[in-house]
Amino acid sequence: MSETRLREEICRFGASLHQRGLTAGSSGNISVRTDDGWLLTPTNSSLGSLDPARLSKMDWNGTLLAGDPPSKEAFLHRAMYDERSGAGAIVHLHSTHSAAVSCMSGLDHHSCIPPLTPYFVMKIGQLPLVPYHRPGDPNLGDAIRGLAAKHSAVLLANHGPVVSGKTLESAVYAIEELEETAKLFLLLQGHNPRVLTEAQIAELKTVFKL
């Protein structure tokens, strides 16, 4: 896909996420890998009103090549790309239900949300928790690096999810599936849900080549 088209896609998906209440204010950021670097949404920008020409164009040394200054959360994306050579795009949101789960005590740090539905298993799989770090703490990047090689999605404690995909469309669909499953997880608190068994998860992995 050409860079022009990728820029338009970032703005189109950003507006869609914003219109549906998945990001508020200037929170959330989107990035895509290009032939010669990567594109990221600018700092203090709303995903609802992005300008394709003003997106931050970065090289892999962290230099801003063109556009507005990048999101202060650029390092979250960079940490994920460093460990996932097949990732073409990354979406990070403070979406309500996922952020709510990220604030819960007693989470299984290896798997914050149980395998409630096959779609969650197929699009997200196992979702580890990244311990709390203050905004901008560079140690957060290292904490993500430690998990990203094995996980396409991670949940930042008291913050929100970071989800990668081969394409921007697949990353957006995956983070939407995560948000919906987080909502189910919260609705099911105290209801003793039946989660998918190991055998049912193994069947999904075989049939859908996960």
Residues noted as catalytic: 119
3-state secondary structure at position 14: helix
CA–CA separation, 90 vs 17, rounded Å?
Answer: 14
Pairing state between β 64-66 and 89-92: unpaired
Task: Write down the H helix ranges in the chain.
Answer: 3-19, 74-83, 96-102, 118-123, 139-148, 168-187, 198-207
3-state helix, strand, coil in the chain (%, to 5): 40, 15, 45
Residues 42, 48: contact at Cβ < 8 Å?
A: no
Residue with tokens 């989800």: 163
